[in-house]
Structure formats: structure tokens, C-alpha cells
A and B are shown apart, each in its own frame.
Chain A
């Protein structure tokens, strides 16, 4: 897992570095201003990359492994924090204009920098991204485990990857049930500090993005429910726990109904609310949606509770007997978990359009390059990004595959 992380990290860092070059060449004004304002957070982020050097792993003691393991997590947390000062500041800038003029290392007064770095949406974005990262990686582990499960034929490997898939789904679900709480806090911060951006993503031509995102979240809860119905079926029959079987089935159906409520547009028949011919969708009330999200949170949390606390010991008898449906459910969860993260980023970016720094630095080119890009174009970008990401995951998983029947060789 450590080696997998390092390879994945280096692949990600390569694309990230290429991305920075794109920023500089495509958006020079934005890059100049942004890199000046966020020089110190970006420097901190760059230094934290150094932490992930891995060459001495086999030569240091177990205590060092634990120290490094915790250190990696902290390092990534603070890296995310450093870059979040930038990306949150693009949506809710720390001032109405960018004013330079101070001599020396700092181009503007220190308190102004703090306003830019610790802007109103920094903390909600940070915690939302941390929860999303936990969830995303959990579903990703499940995805990779399913590939290995299919790949390996010997029973010890089958048991191991079945367990890893279950572990991943639980992690994914744990991150997923936290996200809506942080998400509504984040949305409220945007509403309170950048009202127009809030309206952009909640209503009108961009509303499909939020509906798509919450649709994926609902699908993830449904998929996880299906996974547990199928994965624990044999065990629950053996234990005579038909009550839990029925509860899991009810969860899948109720999550499906909640998802149906959540993807309802607020009005139909037109793009904007007061366009001629529009009519209010009786199922699209926001209050229904809040309740539907709460239902999904409760379902997700109870699945975790039942699986971890009621079935904990007994699950171990079953590893290796993964049904085809639960295998497919875990695989789908991996794809949805990755896609939802990309959509979340896109929602945040398109909320700001056509600005890079909101109401300060516009996207260059004006109407020649309208932003955000149309849905069919962003779908192509998403498919390309997902395809590339899964290709990287798949290749790294081939290199780092764990074989319990023999000592790990890499």
C-alpha cells in the first residue's frame, strides 16, 4: 500500500506540475497575481512534497514506519490546506481589488495577505476536501481490490482482496456520510459571501451540475447498500438474521427514493425561474431535498454501524466468497466515487465563471472563450481524466499487487 501510494503520488504530482505550466501559459495575468499572493502557501506546499521521499523505507525501523505513516497523512493535510488557501481565495477573494505597493518580501501588508489566505470559504473547503479524499480513496481501494480479486485465482489472495474491497467500501461510506454536513456549511459560506456564485450553481443553466453531483452521491449510497445486501447475504442466512437482510434491502429502496427526490429540478419548462412556460416542480422543493440527504446520511451511518458492530467477528468466516453482484457494485462505487470528486471540483470552478479571481481577474478572451465550457465538452474532459486516472491506477496496481502466498516482491 505504501509503494502504491508513492507511485500514485508521483504520477499525480507529474500531472500537477504540468497543470501549473498550463496555468502560467494560458492565464498569465491570473498566474502572476495568484503566485504573488499565494507565494508563501505554495512554498509550504512544495516543501511538503519532499516529505514523501521513500527510498529508505526498507532500512528504517518499525517505529519510523509509524512516524512516517502518520507524517504522510499530516503532510497531505497541510498540503491540501496550502493549496486550498489559493483555490478558496479564487472564489471568495480577501479583498475587492489586488493592491500592491509595499516594498520588500511582502508586496502588500501582512494583514491583507491573511485576508486572502484565510478567506471565508477556506475552512469549509478544506474539511470538505479531506472528507472527499477519505471517501474517494476508500472507493478506489474497493475498485482496485475488485480488479485483483478477479485477477488472482488462489484462495488466500481471493480472501485478502475480498476483505480489502469491504474495507474500502466502509471507508468510502464513512467519508461519504460526512460530506453533506461539510457541503452544506460550504454552500452556506458561498451563499453568505458570494451570493451570485451561489445562485449560479443552484439555479439556472448550471443547476444540472449540483443535481448530477447529488445524484452520484445517492447512487453511491444505493450501490453500497446493494454491495452489503449481496456481500453479507450468505452470512446473514447462515446466522438466521433475516431482520438485517430486510433492513439492508429497505435501505437500498429508500436510498433510491431519496435519490429520486434529490435529482428533481426546482422548476421545469425553462432554464430560468421566471422564463415563460416554467412551472414549479412539486417534488423539487429544497426542504424535501434536505430531508432526503439526511435520510441518505442515516442509511450510510447505519450500514457502517451494522457491518462493523453487529457483524464484525462473523464477517471473517466469509472472505473469499464474493458474489458477482457485490463485485460489480464495488467496481461501480469506485467509478462513481472518482467521478463525483471531479464533478465537485467542476461545480466550484463553474460557480466562479467567467472569473478566475471572482470579480477581479476575468478569464481572458471574453466571449471568444466562454466559461464554463458546454456540458458535452466537459463530459469529454471528464471521460479523458477518468480514463487516464484509471489507467494509472490499473498500471500501478499491477506493479504493487500483494501476493499473500509469497513475500511481497516489488
Chain B
């Protein structure tokens, strides 16, 4: 595996981690902390 290919994979992993963090943050604040207006 070339260095560039490894870096590309690493970047996709970073993107996946970011999406994971986003899901967690919205679950944590949106579904357990903040009330729904109705």
C-alpha cells in the first residue's frame, strides 16, 4: 500500500469518525437533553 493510499484510507476513517461523533452529539443533546416543543 502506498503512502498516498494509506492517507486516503485514513481520511475516510476520519470522516467516518466525524459522522459517528455527529450521531452521538445529536443523540445526546437532541434525544436525551433537549425537550421537543410538542
Contact = CB atoms under 8 A, between A and B. Distances in A.
Interface of A: 177, 180-181, 184-185, 187-188, 191, 202-203, 207, 266-267, 273, 280, 284-287, 290-291, 293-294, 297-298, 301-302, 304-305, 308-309
A208 to B, nearest CB: 13
Given A291-B26, A305-B15, 11 more contacts: A181-B25, A184-B30, A184-B34, A188-B29, A202-B37, A203-B37, A286-B35, A290-B30, A294-B22, A304-B15, A309-B11
B18 A294 contact: no
Give the one of B19, B21, B37 with max A CB within 10 A. B37
A297 B22 contact: yes
A181 B37 contact: no
Nearest to B30: A290
Interface of B: 8, 11-12, 15, 18-19, 21-23, 25-26, 29-31, 33-38
Given A202-B37, A203-B37, A301 B19 contact: yes
Given A280-B38, A290-B31, A184 B25 contact: yes
A-B residue pairs, 8 tightest by C-beta:
A290-B30, A286-B36, A266-B37, A184-B29, A305-B15, A297-B22, A181-B25, A188-B29
Contact of A298 (B8, B19, B30, B38): B19
Nearest to A185: B29
B36 to A, nearest CB: 4
Contacts of A286: 30, 34-38
B3 to A, nearest CB: 14
A267 B12 CA distance: 40
Contacts of A285: 36, 38
A294 B38 contact: no
A180 B26 CA distance: 9
Classify the interface of chain B: helix, strand, loop or mixed.
helix
Given A298-B19, A301-B19, A305-B12, A267 B29 contact: no
23 contacts: A181-B25, A184-B25, A184-B29, A185-B29, A188-B33, A188-B34, A191-B34, A191-B35, A202-B37, A267-B37, A273-B38, A286-B35, A287-B31, A290-B26, A290-B30, A294-B22, A294-B26, A297-B22, A298-B19, A301-B15, A302-B15, A305-B12, A309-B8
Contacts of A267: 37-38
B23 to A, nearest CB: 6
Nearest to B15: A305
Contacts of A184: 25-26, 29-30, 34
A255 to B, nearest CB: 15
Nearest to A294: B26
Nearest to A187: B34
A200 to B, nearest CB: 12
Give the one of A191, A280, A290, A293 with max B CB within 10 A. A290
A284 B38 contact: yes
Contacts of B29: 184-185, 187-188
A185 B24 CA distance: 12
B1 to A, nearest CB: 15
Contacts of B18: 177, 301
B27 to A, nearest CB: 8
